[in-house]
A = this chain, B = another copy of it.
Amino acid sequence: MKSLPEKTIERLSVYRRTLLNCLAEGKEYIYSHEIANLHNITAVQVRRDIMLIGYSTTLKKGYNVRALIELIGDILDSPRGLNVAVVGIGNLGRAITAYFRGKRSRLQIVAAFDTDPEKINRVISGVKCYSMNDLQQIINEKQIPVAILTVPPDYAAKVSEALVYSGIKGILNYTSVPVNVPSDVVLENYDMITSLEKVAYYVKQKLGDNSKVSYEE
């Protein structure tokens, strides 16, 4: 499979979630424009994404939901699932862990790490919390290739170094500071403030600096 556009990868993940909901509602077939409407995008884009992953149907009754879900799974999922660690099990770490818990996903949070003695060796939001001292050992034992980074900003750089050293292959960084990793480690940064500032910017743009905000309906 030639490499897919990054944006397509993102959308496939989103499509799948929607498709699973459709299936839960008993919907077995879905049109490209239905998928599109659900996501505020165009039907052409949906069809193009689906073309790129090599699915096609001779029917004009829409796509087979099950088949599509399965195919997306072939692309996104690893055959035996993927183990994930949460590093820094504070407010955000716990929220994330609680969120993933009980999801029938291929992504399993199998360990948490922290430096707080109160947390170490306890089960938090359903996940065992280990000491940062045991990072490398546990990552090896449990075969964890991906980590979610939710430590305080001041520790982000050091901790990400430790993760890389311990053999982590991908980091999802939720701290508000950038981290550096070698080029063979996949890094995804996400920052809530940036998202919010972006929304604020476009709201400001739309309202126009002169016009007064109206809160009346």
Contacts and interface: CB of A to CB of B under 8 A. Distances in A.
A178 B140 contact: no
A197 interface: yes
Chain A, interface size: which category? 35 or more
In this complex, the member of A167, A169, A193, A199 whose beta carbon has the largest number of chain B beta carbons within 10 angstroms is A199
A207 interface: yes
A13 B196 CA distance: 10
Contacts of A178: 14, 18, 38-40
A176 B94 contact: no
Given A165-B217, A169-B207, A172-B199, A107 B17 contact: no
A60 interface: no
Q: How many copies does the complex hold?
A: 2
A198 B39 contact: no
B193 A17 contact: yes
A179 B145 CA distance: 32
A191 B91 contact: no
A207 B195 CA distance: 31
Contacts of A39: 178
A126 to B, nearest CB: 13
